[in-house]
Structure 1
Amino acid sequence: MSLHVDLGTFQQKYKPMIEEAMIGFVREKAMPSTIKDAMIYSLEAGGKRIRPILLLAVIHGYGKDPQSGMKTAAALEMIHTYSLIHDDLPSMDDDDLRRGKPTNHKVFGEAMAILAGDGLLTHSFQLIAEDTLLPGESKITLMGLMARCAGPEGMVGGQVADIEGENKKLSVAELESIHVHKTGKLLIFSTLAGAIISGATVEEQNKLEKFAYHIGLAFQIQDDILDIEGAEELIGKRTGSDESKQKSTYPGLLSMKGAKDKLQFHFDEALDSLTGLSMDTALLKQIALLIVNRNH
């Protein structure tokens, strides 16, 4: 099955729809104007929207209408955005810039930034719950999966391990465990949610989960490489922050060449995971390529 589409064209079509679904949902709800402004500020900060695009790409690959996953994709990006707001706080990464703009707490203050993150997190579940395009059973499955991937078993747990790993020499296995949870779990949600909405078999879901596992690690390795080699004006935040916080990184543990070899390994494994799927995998391969080749 071939559903000829270029990733750039796909992004150009669906990225504005994802943003409208997120921002429109926040804008239409009754809430204090300050928190609404703070939530929308970070939602409008831009970004590649890789996670929701990946979710919709899976649905497209199965020959289904990506609109059926639009609200789930928007909810996922709201969770990612909340995590960035909280990551940037002085008590966490203490960043002043995010995607070239002042971070949320620099504009709205720390208390409002925390509440904006809380608002996005809780609103994400409401967005799925109110989706009229999905059957109730699917919504329950998706919300349970999203809670596991985003919560202490997933992204939040990865953030805890990341904080506790500062000023320590971690093993590669320990570093991978942090990133599988901190970065990888939301990418795993992307592929599994797309598969669930498309009615894919458990066997196919397992293959897509493996694909997401490997691109999640590739994503983080490239992040570590860019923190050393990247251009600050492209990345939109300070480079060298990992070294200043004495965090273990792939280049630090494996050397720059070793990190790039590991990046290639996970890219190859990701592509290999797609073998035998009953869907068009062209978009997923392009997303994997985007992750390993990105410069910001």
Structure 2
Amino acid sequence: MTSSSNRGTGVADETDTQFDLADYLATQQAQVEAALNQSITVVYPDKIYEAMRYSLMAGGKRLRPILCLATCELLGGTTEMAMPTACALEMIHTMSLIHDDLPAMDNDDYRRGKPTNHKVYGEDIAILAGDGLLAYAFEFVAAQTQQVSAERVLQVIARLGHAVGAAGLVGGQVVDLESEGKPDVSLETLNFIHRHKTGALLEASVVCGAILAGADDSNLVRLSRYAQDIGLAFQIVDDVLDITATQEELGKTAGKDLQAQKATYPSFWGIEESRRQAQALVTAAKAQVEPFGDRAKPLQAIADYITARTH
């Protein structure tokens, strides 16, 4: 993945026998799924726990927890150290999807190929299920993290709070809602929306894994830049797929951005230039982690995967 022959192509090199991304993702995803499955049990009142589990266990790429695990291991940490935070990241991400799908927000009936939470449990329970997952995420990190100093755990909790609050995901969502239907949304505003709404939690995934492993300041800066680049690339690709992919491929309603009159990267640049911009970000992200050598192969391969994905 680090050779010059395949850098910047946007696809993982299938001839690379030293690192198999598909196998890596499958192995990590299986570990995350098992941990998530054990994280929430159904007790009274059953409905809220069932609603929380419905969306949490609905599948997905599990990219955020995998990035957390990969970064912790890159710096000498272990899966056991990072798994509670990895699960918490997926809980927070799932909360954002439940709330994003509500009629008052993006109003979608499908997520990951299944009816959205509010279509199954009603809007009231969906809101509470998101609230429950958000609160439990912080409890889970605090109560379940082992082999990590209290100081590092506290840093992770603070980083997660920053990423999900008004300085991160929530702030990005507000500007996104305010920008709908406006013809004069600037590229600067669009970047703000997605560096916060999408990028903040992706960055937290990488940085929290690094904090758990005891990263120094220089490595935190390098990994933050990597995460910021892949976060924006991820959103650019999402915007392209919203136009080019089918509902079956996406697992959610296609063409929603156009229907909502949202500013998107293809609306500024067109599809081909958007793809080029995403690839440039991925190339920059991979360069940030090159100093880590072979240990960075998972992060570099994940960066390539972001632009090569079809859903």
Specify the alignment match of 1:290 in structure 2: 305
Residues 43-72 of structure 1: per-residue CA shift (max 9 Å, x gap): 111000001001101122223322210000
Specify the alignment match of 2:94 in structure 1: 81
**1:107-186 → structure 2 map (5 Å cutoff):** 107-133=120-146, 134-168=148-182, 169-186=184-201
Does residue 66 in structure 1 map to residue 79 in structure 2? yes
Separation (CA, whole Å) in 1 of partners of 2:28 and 2:237: 25
**1:1-296 → structure 2 map (5 Å cutoff):** 5-27=19-41, 30-133=43-146, 134-168=148-182, 169-277=184-292, 280-296=295-311
Give TM-score scaled by structure 2 length.
0.90
Q: Give 5+ residue unaligned stretches, structure 1.
A: none
Deviation at 1:279, TM superposition (A): 7.1
Specify the alignment match of 2:7 in structure 1: none
**Given residue 149 of structure 2, which amino acid in structure 1 is its aligned partner?**
P
Separation (CA, whole Å) in 1 of partners of 2:145 and 2:309: 36
- Is contact 1:155–1:183 with CA below 8 Å preserved after alignment? yes
Residues 10-52 of structure 1: per-residue CA shift (max 9 Å, x gap): 3222223222323322116x54100010000001110000010
Separation (CA, whole Å) in 2 of partners of 1:141 and 1:10: 28
Closer, same or farther: CA 31–207 of 1 in aligned 2, 3 Å: farther
**Given residue 259 of structure 2, which amino acid in structure 1 is its aligned partner?**
S
Separation (CA, whole Å) in 2 of partners of 1:13 and 1:150: 28
- Is contact 2:82–2:145 with CA below 8 Å preserved after alignment? no
Partner of 2:291, secondary structure, is coil
Q: Structure 1 segments of 4 or more deviating over 4 A?
A: none
Separation (CA, whole Å) in 1 of partners of 2:296 and 2:302: 10
Out of 12-21 and 32-41, give the one that drifted further: 12-21
- Is contact 2:145–2:153 with CA below 8 Å preserved after alignment? no
Closer, same or farther: CA 202–177 of 1 in aligned 2, 3 Å: same
- Is contact 1:162–1:178 with CA below 8 Å preserved after alignment? yes
Out of 35-44 and 15-24, give the one that drifted further: 15-24
**Given residue 6 of structure 1, which amino acid in structure 2 is its aligned partner?**
D
Closer, same or farther: CA 121–31 of 1 in aligned 2, 3 Å: farther
Separation (CA, whole Å) in 2 of partners of 1:160 and 1:270: 27
Residues 242-276 of structure 1: per-residue CA shift (max 9 Å, x gap): 01100000000111222122112211111122232
What is the aligned-residue identity percentage? 44
Give TM-score scaled by structure 1 length.
0.95
- Is contact 2:207–2:223 with CA below 8 Å preserved after alignment? yes
Partner of 1:274, secondary structure, is helix
- Is contact 1:18–1:70 with CA below 8 Å preserved after alignment? yes
CA RMSD in angstroms comes to: 1.6
**Given residue 65 of structure 2, which amino acid in structure 1 is its aligned partner?**
P
- Is contact 1:62–1:279 with CA below 8 Å preserved after alignment? no
Residues 270-291 of structure 1: per-residue CA shift (max 9 Å, x gap): 1122232477110001110111
Separation (CA, whole Å) in 2 of partners of 1:13 and 1:266: 27
Separation (CA, whole Å) in 1 of partners of 2:195 and 2:187: 12
- Is contact 2:85–2:145 with CA below 8 Å preserved after alignment? no
Deviation at 1:7, TM superposition (A): 2.7
